[in-house]
Copies of this chain bind each other. A is one copy, B any other.
């Protein structure tokens, strides 16, 4: 691949636009920044002239001058996992409205991180980086990123809701408090006389999974119920399907299944109905986690612990804007609650 840029036509400059529109050079800059105030007619005129002259500000040049790239890096293990794709979609819309584009970086499917990927990410000089994976440690990201203060999604284990220690590397955090939703789900199951609960897990290494299981364990103990029987899954439909069959064919079965995510709950429901010929909810009740768009589909109609996607996206955008406004502030926090959505798989 040659590295010649000689074919690019000559760009119009901001000065040319300012002259033609009879405005200042500063007004042209402001017209392209959704955050600056400018009279709507003036902005419309400048954008019109810019279009006639085929002008847009070059962000590579601007990035060198301003230190801003207007890029937000998102590190994900798998874009097409249902929850993440819905979140990235909503986040891209919200960030676009704030003048940022989203850059996707994928880790390997085994959640491991390629050092070259980190170097590569740094090369784009993102203004912010959101880590949807837990295996990339804040110390690693702090070493690799020039300016961006990374944002982590923190699924607190019981007793772990406190802010991170001030002496470590600087990072910001969205705390997802799972207790309320789990408590509501267990209370509902207990109200229907459930005694034996299985937890169909997510990927063992995932902090979300570990925190979810620990929270379930704590809530069951607090309510005087037996600890969950753990059926190992990996957040996928297929693994949850197989784990559910093992629960009944190898194990002694359960009254209810708590799945680490909705897709796992779908796998459990299909295994119960199509392979084990059991009825949901009459014979076995099922609860999921996430409330993805598919949860209301009639084949599943799933009772699930909900994260509010829009609240979550707003909290992430707030973290980015707060951090850019004050790059040296101590660790910033936002908090998100969960709650139960009751549909047809319990009752």
Contact = CB atoms under 8 A, between A and B. Distances in A.
Contact of A85 (B5, B51, B85, B144): B85
Contacts of A116: 47
Interface string A68-111: 11110000001110000110111011001001011111100000
A3 interface: yes
Given A1-B325, A119-B32, A9 B47 contact: no
Interface in A270-317: 270-271, 273-275, 293-294, 297-300
B96 A101 contact: no
Contacts of A267: 297
Interface string A318-329: 000100110110
Nearest to A300: B299
Contacts of A180: none
A70 B71 CA distance: 13
Nearest to A69: B60
Interface in A188-240: 237
Contacts of A321: 1
Given A80-B89, A85-B85, A327 B1 contact: no
A162 interface: no
Contacts of A96: 105-106, 117, 120
Contact of A88 (B51, B79, B124): B79
A16 to B, nearest CB: 15
Contact of A67 (B5, B119, B123): B5
Contact of A103 (B102, B121, B325): B102
Contacts of A11: 146
14 contacts: A8-B67, A54-B143, A56-B123, A79-B92, A80-B293, A92-B106, A96-B106, A96-B120, A101-B120, A101-B124, A270-B297, A271-B298, A273-B299, A274-B299
